[in-house]
Amino acid sequence: MSETPAIPAESPVARAVPPVVNRIVRGDVLEVLPAWPDGCVDLVFADPPFNIGYQYDQYDDNRPPDEYMAWTQRWIGQCRRVLKPGGTLWIAIGDEYAADVRVAVRRQGWFTLRNWIIWHYTFGQNCKLKFNRSHTHLFYFVKDGARFTFNVDDPRLRVPSDRQLKYNDKRANPNGRLPHDVWTFSRVCGTFKEREGWHPCQMPVALLERIVLACSNEGDVVLDPFAGSGTTLVAAARHGRRWAGVELSAEYARKAEGRVTEETAAVR
Ligand SMILES: C[S@@+](CC[C@H](N)C(=O)[O-])C[C@H]1O[C@@H](n2cnc3c(N)ncnc32)[C@H](O)[C@@H]1O
């Protein structure tokens, strides 16, 4: 069941389309997105650089905090503009800037926060002098708190409940329940078959599939403005969504587009 009432067909937003579909545009998100029309995208998943000194091939991931946050607000503003009125934005962010991002979005009044998901991962880095970090924050925002897509009844989202598993309770919903807000997915380690090997921070496709299935419908447009290895777009293609990405690095853009195109050919 989708919670989004249809946008009237005569609305200009109902007709807006992104300039590219099923492609990854090589470029800077702040140069690419401003050329896109308002309201042409249903779902955005953004996993930006976290400003923690990661080694990307093109990008300097070590900027003064105020500069990083000013930049963050600019790309979030562009994502908001290209989203349809019933659109959804997910942002992945580390501990260093999670609070700043949450406060910035609230101050702007841009979105309603539906969930603050903790992605709990296994196979993190090992710390010797403090507790090991094993999570990333995932903000689930909607543009309009009364109108959005959330496919509560999709069986691919649902998990068995304690009533079913532990208590053998007759009142249990036979269709299980929605997942809690702490999600456990392993990181994509070097030895995993899924690992592409040419990008430093590939996310697990299963995590993106959950988001795509919950927050979009077949034929919708899914945008990843920091496409990286193309994980979001693989999940979108796998489930019959149209997809579009933006990626600063020419090499990542080319390889990620190849990865998604292969996936699309495989599901045909
Ligand atoms: C954290 S990674 C995304 C990883 C992705 N979620 C995946 O699963 O592969 C961030 C990506 O953003 C790209 N990037 C950095 N600055 C950018 C910008 N201004 N515009 C577009 N892409 C950018 C980096 O090259 C990097 O590939």
Distance of alpha carbon 109 from alpha carbon 95, whole angstroms: 22
Task: Tell me, in angstroms, the distance from the centre of ligand 1 to residue 59's CA.
Answer: 8
Q: Please tell me the pTM assigned to this model.
A: 0.93
Question: Which segments in the chain show pLDDT lower than 70?
Answer: 1-14, 56, 267-268
Domain that holds residue 101: 17-267
Q: Please count the structural domains in the chain.
A: 1
Is residue 160 within 8 Å of 176, Cβ to Cβ? yes
Nearest CA to ligand 1 atom 4: 228
What is the structure's pLDDT at 15? Answer: 76
23 part of a folded domain? yes
93 part of a folded domain? yes
What is the structure's pLDDT at 2? Answer: 47
1 part of a folded domain? no
254 part of a folded domain? yes
Q: List, in sequence order, every residue forming a beta bridge with 91; answer none if it has no partner.
A: 46, 139
Conformation bin of residue 109: beta by default, left when phi > 0, alpha when psi is -120 to 50 = left
What is the structure's pLDDT at 136? Answer: 97
CATH number for the domain that contains residue 222: 3.40.50.150
What is the structure's pLDDT at 94? Answer: 97
222 part of a folded domain? yes
Decide: 140 in ligand 1 pocket, CB within 6 A. no
Of 61, 226, 233, the residue with max ligand 1 atoms within 8 A of its CB, to mutate for a pocket test, comes to 226
171-180 contacts, C-beta under 8 A, 24 or more apart: 178/152, 179/210
What is the structure's pLDDT at 200? Answer: 87
239 part of a folded domain? yes
What is the structure's pLDDT at 149? Answer: 98
Conformation bin of residue 39: beta by default, left when phi > 0, alpha when psi is -120 to 50 = left
What is the structure's pLDDT at 36? Answer: 98
258 part of a folded domain? yes
Q: In the structure encoding, which two tokens stand for residue 151, read together?
A: 């496919």
Q: What is the pLDDT of residues 241-256, one digit of tens each?
A: 999 999 999 999 999 9
Q: What is the pLDDT of residues 65-100, one digit of tens each?
A: 999 999 999 999 999 999 999 999 999 999 999 999
Task: Tell me, in angstroms, the distance from the centre of ligand 1 to residue 127's CA.
Answer: 25
Q: What is the pLDDT of residues 143-154, one digit of tens each?
A: 999 999 999 999
2 part of a folded domain? no
What is the structure's pLDDT at 58? Answer: 72
What is the structure's pLDDT at 99? Answer: 98
